[in-house]
Amino acid sequence: MEEKIRGSVLVVGGGIAGIQAALDLADSGFKVYLAEKGPSIGGVMAQLDKTFPTNDCAMCILAPKLVSTGRHPNIKLITNAEIEELTGKAGNFTVSVKKNPRYVDESKCTGCGLCVENCPVRKAIYPVEKVEVKLGPQDLERMKKIITEYKNKEGALLPALHDINIGYSYLPENILRYISEELDLPLSLVYQIATFYNAFSLKPKGKYTINVCMGTACYVKGGNRIVESFERALGIKVGNTTEDLMFGLETISCFGCCGQAPVVVVNEDLYGHFRATKVPQLIKSYSETPKKAGMEVGNAEVKG
Amino acid sequence: MAYRTNLMLCTCTMCVSVGALKIKRKIEEEIKRHNLEDEIQIIPVGSSWLCTRGPTLIVQPDDVVYQFLKEDDIPHLVEEHLLKGRPVKSLMYIHPETLHPIEKLHQIPFYRQQRLITLRNRGMIDPDKIEECIARDGYKALAKVLKSMTPEEVIQEIKDSGLRGRGGAGFPTGRKWEVCRAVKGSPKYVVCNADEGDPGAFMDRSIIEADPHAVLEGMAIGAYAIGASEGYIYIRIEYPLAIKRLERAILEARDYGLLGENILGAGFSFEAHVFKGAGAFVCGEETSLLASIESKPPEPRTRPPYPAQSGLWEKPTNINNVETWANVAAIINQGAKWFSEIGTETSKGTKVFSLAGNINNAGLVEVPMGITLREMVYDIGGGIPNGKKFKAVQIGGPSGGVVPDSLLDLPIDYERLQEAGAIMGSGGMVVVDEDTCMVDFAKYFLIFTNDESCGKCTSCREGSAAMLEILTRITEGKGEEGDIEFLEELGEAVKEASQCGLGQTLSNPVLSALMHFRDEFEAHIKYKKCPAFVCKDLITYSIDPDKCTGCGLCLKQCPADAITGKLKKPHQIDDSNCIKCGVCRDSCKAKAVILKDRFDK
């Protein structure tokens, strides 16, 4: 380009893309305005540990760029700001930017963080909508035992969730909220743990949970065909429950009963050497005689 | 009281599932009926024998074994054998070749080549009675260690024995202990990894169900050696019986003063806790397991610091697998020299494998290291059922690989298996026959790892999904030229970029299948054929009119109404309606349903 570089550029968004764009433009001589809605630049990458595919440390890439952006003579940072209006056409835009008040003198603030620590109404910066958790007397009774057992103990969440799961056979939302309050654990953590493990479900389960083993031995002996047969017979896909809440269909990685492969487990009854042709019979045996359910072929008595 | 005969009835999860407890009640009834209560006792044991042949019963001291017991067999059995002393031939193991019943347990080929160290009490004791374990030298090693050995001597003994971690990676156990002992910090912890997540593996469950005290004793010795006083056993929630037995074992050991404060008056205290996992494969990885015990999100973290330096609650922690712990007491009792004489140059001792899949004698096997795969499959395993052809052994679960026919003479040893593209892993060994499609099999493992990836590393989370997509395309007949090379490249990238063992090994099943069964992948991609007739989009079902008797069974069973035909006339399958579920093939007694390539070129 022979022409003299003229004019200025507005980059909207101070994430890694915005920062890089602003730096490249500024290095080639443009005056850059970098507008960011949040109080600081950095965006999502500042919250990451590693980046794909090289697993490089995210902050190690980002931090030097943050510093250069802040110090670059050609870049003007406009944080806490939003674009209100944009007029004109390519080459000649007029933008009006609304800068929200920061209530801190930016020219003097060193970012030491002391005021944050000392602010008595600190939590009010991110107001959390308080959800009142109300439990029935029966639930309260159950919870009381769990709370007294695990309160102020380290590493109590997973055992507590196990206990809840045994009582309800799933993890009800209001109970999780209650536990989070009482054990003083962030709800996000409770949710993360509750959804991480296969043993927990946030939805009520059917009366009978049919678990088809998909361990390697069961797979090579036709486990997936058994799953398909159950799906057809119950009219639901794996991971769902029938509408009448009778049967839930799930797969499990391995019951460690490979000698009996393929294996199907209904609640706590284990059926070995199972065949796809036995599916209708099994479903029938559980739906017809609720009191004395279970088949005569290979009946189980494994109780926890 | 002394009994003349002991009935060792297997009550592992598998045998219980096929009615072992009903058999127990029936035998009790029969014994009572014949007034033999003072002469004969039933001892419920754990994982005593061939798991496919349950419920099984071993009569001692006659050493006679019975299999596939049914309630109706019991009166006859009790009367003939226990009353009249005539073993019942019809309930015995039948030799697959000679077709003669084999009476004695130790004459059965499945048993002959096994050497029991880890499973020394298998089928010999009631796991719920500590007295029986103590009678067979249980806790003798702990006493020896506490009374006559310093922690350093214990570590040296384990180092000399050459014991390596049985969880898969094979790190020398003694070195691990030494590092943990040297680290400053208090308290220290020992952890037993019983989160046996590998599909197709059941060694840890069986060891705990057969002899929970072996694990506890090993942990107590390890705790003494590294200077810990608390231990956790992290066990899968899917193993309710093992959990029950372990909890009971801890209570009993505590009652006897073999756990708890001031054990055997030697001033050493050790407490063990059972911690139940909640069904996450990644928790088998040590850092993730520790995070799970702390009720943190169970994602692996970078090492170093290793758990030996900063583990549970950021304290020095030593983690070993169930099988490793179960070996410890035997080594202390019989000496490092004895142990190191078993096995190969680099891999000492024995290894427990769970032999499963398409094999006659599926079950728990303990063999000296260095035994060949051929011996495992044909001598111990008894070959492939239904006259099918052997295709491969899958070793090491989703982290391992397949070993083909040509490598069957490979001795089992950490290094040699690695060279062949598989790993020792925890010891799951699944035999597959000619009816298994290797592309589909590789896909199966990726479905598993993709589902179980914790999602922390992008390479593992997205890499497994990308590989799965390609494999799915290949099995659907939409494979393209270059897919194989791309899979290999992607597999290597995922290996290098992932943080924990799950990601670093998830491409092994695919890469090893590509190494040994490349032609099968090529057949799918180039000729749109599935040589094993598994991939639904590449095959068609049809009925051989010469064989079909027109019985109508398939027509009745077909869920898609794809079969037409009149009674006693050859039937037909309408390919456009057929969903390829295979029910017709299963139900046909005349074997008239045949599989063909869909795209015949």
Q: Report the CATH number at residue B296.
A: 3.40.50.11540
Q: Indicate the range of A201-205, B346-350, B538-542 predicted with least confidence.
A: A201-205
Closest-CA distance, B476 to chain A, in angstroms, reads: 16
Host domain of residue A247: 208-288
Q: With a CB-CB cutoff of 8 Å, which residues 185-204 of chain A face chain B?
A: 189, 192-193, 196-200
Number of domains present in the structure of chain B: 5
- Spatial distance between the Cα atoms of B35 and B117, rounded to a whole number of angstroms: 38
Whether A145 and A185 share a structural domain: yes
Whether B53 and B172 share a structural domain: no
Whether B140 and B248 share a structural domain: yes
Whether B543 and B520 share a structural domain: no
Whether A224 and A261 share a structural domain: yes
Whether B48 and B140 share a structural domain: no
Contact across the interface for A216 and B428, Cβ inside 8 Å: yes
Whether B47 and B150 share a structural domain: no
Contact across the interface for B586 and A157, Cβ inside 8 Å: no
- Spatial distance between the Cα atoms of A87 and A65, rounded to a whole number of angstroms: 31
Q: Is residue B118 part of a domain?
A: no
Q: Is residue B59 part of a domain?
A: yes
Whether B522 and B556 share a structural domain: no
Name the residue among A278, A110, A136, A140 with its Cα closest to residue A210. A278
Residue B425 amino acid letter: G
Whether B478 and B334 share a structural domain: no
pLDDT at B111: 80
Q: Is residue B66 part of a domain?
A: yes
Q: Among the three residues A100, A118, A145, which one is the final residue of a domain in this structure?
A: A100
Contact across the interface for A259 and B14, Cβ inside 8 Å: yes
Contacts of A271 in chain B (CB under 8 A): 17
Q: Is residue B345 part of a domain?
A: no
Q: Among the three residues A196, A228, A245, which one is the final residue of a domain in this structure?
A: A196
Q: Is residue B557 part of a domain?
A: yes
Host domain of residue B401: 350-433
Reply yes or no on whether the pLDDT at A123 is more than 60.
no
Helix crossing, B508-516 with B518-526: angle to 10°?
A: 90
My answer on whether omega of the bond before B187 falls inside 30° of 0, hence cis, is yes
Task: Kindly give the residue spans of alpha helices, DSSP state H, lying in A119-222.
Answer: 137-150, 157-168, 173-182, 187-196, 216-220
pLDDT at A64: 92
Task: For B442-461, write each residue's pLDDT tens digit.
Answer: 999 999 999 888 888 888 99
pLDDT at B181: 92
Q: With a CB-CB cutoff of 8 Å, which residues 241-280 of chain A face chain B?
A: 252-261, 263, 268, 270-272, 275-277
Q: With a CB-CB cutoff of 8 Å, which residues 135-194 of chain A face chain B?
A: 154-159, 161-162, 189, 192-193
**Mean pLDDT, rounded, of chain B:** 88
Question: The domain that contains A72 carries what CATH number?
Answer: 3.50.50.60
Q: Is residue A219 part of a domain?
A: yes
Whether A219 and A143 share a structural domain: no
Q: Is residue B548 part of a domain?
A: yes
Q: Most B CBs within 10 Å: which of A161, A201, A216, A229, as the mutation test of the B interface?
A: A216
Contacts of A199 in chain B (CB under 8 A): 237, 277-279
Contacts of A279 in chain B (CB under 8 A): none
Whether B257 and B402 share a structural domain: no
Q: Is residue A2 part of a domain?
A: no
Q: Is residue A122 part of a domain?
A: no
Q: Is residue A240 part of a domain?
A: yes
Q: Is residue A123 part of a domain?
A: no
B128-150 mean pLDDT: 90
Residue A294 has which token pair?
A: 């279970």
Cα separations in angstroms, B594 against A101, B297, B420, B476, B540: 77, 50, 35, 20, 8
Q: Is residue A23 part of a domain?
A: yes
- Spatial distance between the Cα atoms of B1 and A191, rounded to a whole number of angstroms: 56
Signed CA dihedral, B33, B39, B45, B51: sign only: negative
B172: DSSP letter:
B
Q: Is residue B198 part of a domain?
A: yes
Number of domains present in the structure of chain A: 3
Q: Most B CBs within 10 Å: which of A51, A193, A220, as the mutation test of the B interface?
A: A220
- Spatial distance between the Cα atoms of B142 and B136, rounded to a whole number of angstroms: 14
Task: For B310-357, write each residue's pLDDT tens digit.
Answer: 889 889 999 999 999 999 999 999 999 999 999 888 888 999 988 888
Question: The domain that contains B354 carries what CATH number?
Answer: 3.10.20.600
Contacts of A171 in chain B (CB under 8 A): none
pLDDT at A295: 44
Q: How many CA atoms lie within 13 A of B101 on its CB side?
A: 11
For strand B40-45 and strand B5-10, is the pairing parallel, antiparallel, or unpaired?
Answer: parallel
My answer on whether omega of the bond before A53 falls inside 30° of 0, hence cis, is yes
Q: Is residue A167 part of a domain?
A: yes
Contact across the interface for A162 and B462, Cβ inside 8 Å: no
- Say what percent of chain B tops pLDDT 90: 33
Whether B395 and B455 share a structural domain: no
Contact across the interface for B278 and A216, Cβ inside 8 Å: no
Question: The domain that contains A283 carries what CATH number?
Answer: 3.40.30.10
Reply yes or no on whether the pLDDT at A290 is more than 60.
no
A172-177 mean pLDDT: 88
Question: The domain that contains B16 carries what CATH number?
Answer: 3.40.30.10
Closest-CA distance, B140 to chain A, in angstroms, reads: 31
Does B582 reach chain A within 8 Å, measured CB to CB?
Answer: yes
pLDDT at B88: 86
Reply yes or no on whether the pLDDT at A270 is more than 70.
yes
Q: Among the three residues A81, A100, A119, which one is the final residue of a domain in this structure?
A: A100
Whether B564 and B544 share a structural domain: yes
Task: For B257-303, write each residue's pLDDT tens digit.
Answer: 999 999 988 889 999 999 998 888 888 888 999 999 998 888 888 88
Q: Among the three residues B433, B460, B492, which one is the final residue of a domain in this structure?
A: B433
Signed CA dihedral, B85, B88, B93, B94: sign only: positive
Residue B380 amino acid letter: I
Task: For A75-85, write each residue's pLDDT tens digit.
Answer: 999 999 999 99
Whether B163 and B273 share a structural domain: yes
B387-395 mean pLDDT: 90
pTM: 0.81
Q: Among the three residues B390, B415, B433, which one is the final residue of a domain in this structure?
A: B433
pLDDT at B601: 54
Does A103 reach chain B within 8 Å, measured CB to CB?
Answer: no
Q: Is residue B117 part of a domain?
A: no
Q: Is residue A203 part of a domain?
A: no
Question: The domain that contains B565 carries what CATH number?
Answer: 3.30.70.20
Whether B321 and B200 share a structural domain: yes
